[in-house]
Amino acid sequence: NAGVTQTPKFRVLKTGQSMTLLCAQDMNHEYMYWYRQDPGMGLRLIHYSVGEGTTAKGEVPDGYNVSRLKKQNFLLGLESAAPSQTSVYFCASTLSGAPGANVLTFGAGSRLTVL
């Protein structure tokens, strides 16, 4: 059982380049999230999805776009990368929004460096 898989694990970009991070989960979870982790700042929510075909903005959405065309996949895109987007990105998922159901399952992370 793979859980939540993120690809790629590492990537180096130049300023202005674009890229997509892929998150795949095999647990039939409805809700999926993208967070970024920066030193001393904890995890901050970028975008999230409450089901196939839906997306919504989180705390720090600027510079990112997302898509959830299939229930099992949640893509995070950077159209024009900036050094401020250097971070570790985590995808997470959970089964539903029922009270007490917020046990998020996290991927291993994707480390992105923008030069």
Partner 1 sequence: AQSVAQPEDQVNVAEGNPLTVKCTYSVSGNPYLFWYVQYPNRGLQFLLKYITGDNLVKGSYGFEAEFNKSQTSFHLKKPSALVSDSALYFCAVRDMRNQAGTALIFGKGTTLSVSS
Instruction: Return residues touching partner 1 (CB under 8 A).
Output: 4, 31, 33, 35, 40-45, 48, 50, 56, 58, 90, 92, 94, 96-97, 99-109
Is residue 58 packed enough to be buried (19+ CB in 10 Å), middle (13-18) or exposed (0-12)? middle
Cα–Cα distance for residue pair 30/34, rounded to 1 Å: 14
CB of 108 to partner 1, least distance (A): 5
In the complex with partner 1, the residue whose CB is nearer, 15 or 54, is: 54
CB of 17 to partner 1, least distance (A): 24
CB of 81 to partner 1, least distance (A): 22
Cα–Cα distance for residue pair 75/26, rounded to 1 Å: 15
